[in-house]
Amino acid sequence: VCAFSHISLMFLSIFLTADHLTLETHIAWQNALMCLFFDGISAIGTNEIFPRRRPIHNFCDSCRGISCQRGQVTQVHYHLFNYGNFNIFALPPSAQRLNITRCHQKFEFNTHGLPPRLLALNLCANEIYGTVDMTCLPVTLEYLTLSQNNLSGYLDLTHLPRPIRTILLSNNRFQQKTVWYDNLPQTVSKIKEDVSKIKIDLGISNHSCPNRIREVHAVHEDQERYNQFSPFC
């Protein structure tokens, strides 16, 4: 399907955000990134994604799991697709919604490599490992679901994206006595009056959650306004 796979991801992503690109050039560079996104998928999986085995001139045309707007990749959705790892860090900067669930994904997570305009990320029920730097999530992010993986490391909720509404991290391998938060987004300001504003599920330690998190507290005591985080897995 793809004729190349050794181009710098950073160079491609930066180049693709340029305003002066013609439509043909934009499609060519977007295709380069999408080639890298599918590079770890087996031949059987590739045949399922691309029904007709032929050179791909535009990944927005008849590509299973990919949705586009105005010729730009905006959504990726795969569920129970067990044919190798997707390279999510190769997605074009136009990607806004990424759902890859129960697909046996096994790779190291890297917050810094996520598409900059991402609104929703759901990688639930895979085998993804590594750490989650909550201080450098995409500034547009509203929904983050990474539950049921093998993630670990230190959680810092002091610099969350302002639009964030949902954070689901339960059933991982976080081991931290206290998770600190500060400067919470406005979506959290009325949590006691309207619990639908935001949901933060860290899987606080109980008999069924692998996470070992005992407490969640504000950095400054006068900002202690959300100390009942969901304990559910």
- pLDDT for res 172: 92
- pLDDT for res 86: 98
pLDDT at 69 over 80: yes
| pTM assigned to the model | 0.81
Which 8-state DSSP code applies to residue 99? Answer: E
Task: For residue 218, give the nearest of 160, 179, 174 by alpha carbon.
Answer: 179
Element containing residue 218 per DSSP (H, E): strand 212-218
Find where tokens 């890859």 sit.
100
Residue 17 tokens read as 């955000």
- pLDDT for res 175: 85
- pLDDT for res 34: 93
- pLDDT for res 29: 86
- pLDDT for res 57: 72
Q: How many Cα atoms occupy the beta-carbon half-sphere of 160 within 13 Å? A: 24
- pLDDT for res 61: 83
- pLDDT for res 215: 67
Residue 44 CA to residue 138 CA, distance in Å, equals 33
What interhelical angle do 23-37 and 9-16 show, nearest 10?
150
pLDDT at 82 over 50: yes
Q: How far is CA 92 from CA 63, 66, 95, 99, 114, in A?
A: 15, 12, 6, 15, 10
pLDDT single digits (tens) 147-189: 999 999 998 888 999 999 888 888 899 888 788 877 777 765 3
C-beta of residue 55 within 8 angstroms of C-beta of residue 72 = no
Domains contained in the chain, CATH given: 1-105 (3.80.10), 128-136+148-233 (no CATH)
